[in-house]
Structures are given as C-alpha cells and as structure tokens.
Amino acid sequence: MSIRFSSQIENFELLEAEKVKKWISEVVLRRGKKVGNISYLFCDDEYMIGVNRQYLDHDTYTDIITFDYVAADLVSGDIFVCVDRVGENAGKFGVGFDEELHRVIIHGVLHLLGQGDKSDSEAAEMRRQEEECLTLWNEMFHEERIV
C-alpha cells in the first residue's frame, strides 16, 4: 500500500513529500482506516478541465477531483490537484501557496474518508475537518501557522 505523487507539470515538485505522506497516513489512521493506494497527480488547468469533461461531464475549472476506490477500511483513490487553481485560490483567500496546497491535498483524503461537500452543512463540516488536519500538520512538524 502506498501514497504516490506525480506531476503532469514539468517544473512542479511537491515539497516535503515524505512529510505529506506521514501526515496523510496519520489522518487516515486517526479515523480508524488503513492507507491503501492513494495516487496524486498535480496538473494544470487544461489537463484538469480535460479530466473534468471526460469523466464527470463538467465543463469547469476546479482545484481537485477525487476518484474513490475505497473498499471497507482500505482508503484508496486517485486525486487530481490543479496547481493553477491552488495558486489562484491562495491569493484569493490570502494564504500561502503551500498552505492552500496542503488544504487541497487533505480535502481529497477527507472525500475518500466519506466527507462530502455538496450541501452547505457538508461544506462547513469539510472546512472544519480541513482546519483540524492542518492543525495536525503543524503539530506533527512543529510549524507555526499564520492566520
């Protein structure tokens, strides 16, 4: 079982990938599940809209698409993260790129753990869980979070 990161973007590499893997694993374990095969692909707008059109029949840009292959307690899936949207959203929300990237990375995992975000109440719970996970990141790696 593994967590893998790859990139469709030539100049993009996830910083601190091993720390991110440990963090994701800890989030999954704290929810009583096991890490299966989780694959991330970091991509640009054009790649992401192609995935959105082909698999979801949506013609919109988005920051993340998660394909859920969870079986019982084994958390597995393919997660596409659009680096262009992450950068734009970081500016819009007034946070650093890395913080927004971590939020999106864990957002996909939370989907695999069963958290939806379609209704207002689900979206609010998703945000709460994202914040909880970002706090865990900071605790695990002793980083101060600027709010």
Average of per-residue pLDDT values in the chain: 95
User: For strand 74-82 and strand 34-43, is the pairing parallel, antiparallel, or unpaired?
Assistant: parallel
Residue 40 region, left (φ>0) first, then alpha (ψ -120 to 50), else beta? beta
Each residue's pLDDT tens digit, 39-79: 999 999 999 999 999 999 999 999 999 999 999 999 999 99
pLDDT value of position 142: 77
Which residues pair with residue 64 across a beta bridge?
81
- Give the Cα separation of 88 and 73 in Å (integer): 35
Note whether 106 and 134 are within 8 A (CB): yes
Each residue's pLDDT tens digit, 79-101: 999 999 999 999 999 999 999 99
Q: What token pair was written down for 47?
A: 């790649």
Domain boundaries, the chain: 2-141
| Nearest alpha carbon to residue 102 among 136, 142, 69 | 136
Q: Which CATH number fits domain 2-141: 3.40.390.30, 3.40.720.10, 3.40.50.12780, 3.50.50.60?
A: 3.40.390.30
Note whether 104 and 113 are within 8 A (CB): no
- Kindly tell me if the per-residue pLDDT of 118 is higher than 60: yes
- Kindly tell me if the per-residue pLDDT of 30 is higher than 90: yes
**pTM of this structure:** 0.94
Residue 64 neighbours by CB distance under 10 Å: 18
